[in-house]
Amino acid sequence: MARVFITGSSDGLGRMAGQLLVEQGHSAVLHARNEQRGREALAAIPGAETVVIGDLSRIAQTRSVAEQVNALGAFDAVIHNAGVGYQRPQRVLTEDRLPMEFAVNTLAPYILTALIRRPKRLVYLSSGLHQDGDASLKDLAWSERVWQGQQAYSDTKLHDALLAFAIARHWPDVFSNALEPGWVATKMGGAGARDDLDAGHRTQVWLAASDDAAAKVTGEYFFHMRLRKPKPATRDTELQDKLLAACKGFSGVDLPAR
């Protein structure tokens, strides 16, 4: 039995991943941004162990989420599922004066990775749109660029793959991988999404808990439990470390050495 923490698991793919983990006999710890959504998450997955609460758009609350998770003991895996954005028409700033997409999709998984007691496996949700992400890593806060919602989202999904591969390199004792779930009909994806919703959550559960040899790898990118080639820039180690340094600068959180 694996013990897995899943961010953003009050609805969508995160909830589906939690349900599948429980069905398979694993222990799932859920996450929601507020108490009401936490109650909804536990009601939807009655077999879950518990839920931790915190708004991942806020650095202080993201730190609190890490503290709550650490207070629960060791985990076998963490699934960084939480995500926002996609086509937001204007830049929305958090209390830390960062774009919501960057705060939740990029900075929060970095902070949680750095602060949660190191698990055996880390799983980061990217997207096929990472292929359109800006690999220059310039103006991450969108303070100079003209806002483009889909570009901002694509950038953060590129960051998620960079983060997964950076961790795989810096922490060789951890299986750290990224995946794209496909364009599926969740609240974010919308009703017009064409990919298989049922397949959308299975890869992250497989990477987090399976004993299959194909799942026990590191520094790889997957789609529906099969290897897929990510954007070549994600393999650039200097770019990976540049993102880590930027996240440290924004958050004040150090990534522990190997």
Our answer to whether residue 86 is catalytic in this structure is: no
| pLDDT at residue 189 in the model | 44
The pLDDT confidence band at residue 196, using thresholds 50, 70 and 90, is low
Which candidate in 86, 110, 124, 153 is catalytic? 153
229 among known catalytic residues: no
Under a CB-based contact definition with an 8 Å cutoff, are residues 100 and 84 in contact?
yes
pLDDT at 11: 87
How far is 170 from 87, CA to CA, in rounded Å? 33
- The arithmetic mean of pLDDT across residues 89-117, rounded, is 97
Which DSSP state fits 172? T
Q: From the candidates 86, 124, 157, 221, which is the catalytic residue?
A: 157
At residue 85, the pLDDT reads 83
Nearest-CA neighbor of 68 among 95, 49, 46? 49
3-state secondary structure of 220: coil
Model pLDDT, residue 186:
47
Segment 130-188, tens digit of pLDDT? 999 999 999 999 999 999 999 999 999 999 999 999 999 999 999 999 999 975 444 55
**Whole-angstrom Cα distance, residue 226 to residue 220?**
10
**Which residues share a beta bridge with 51?**
30
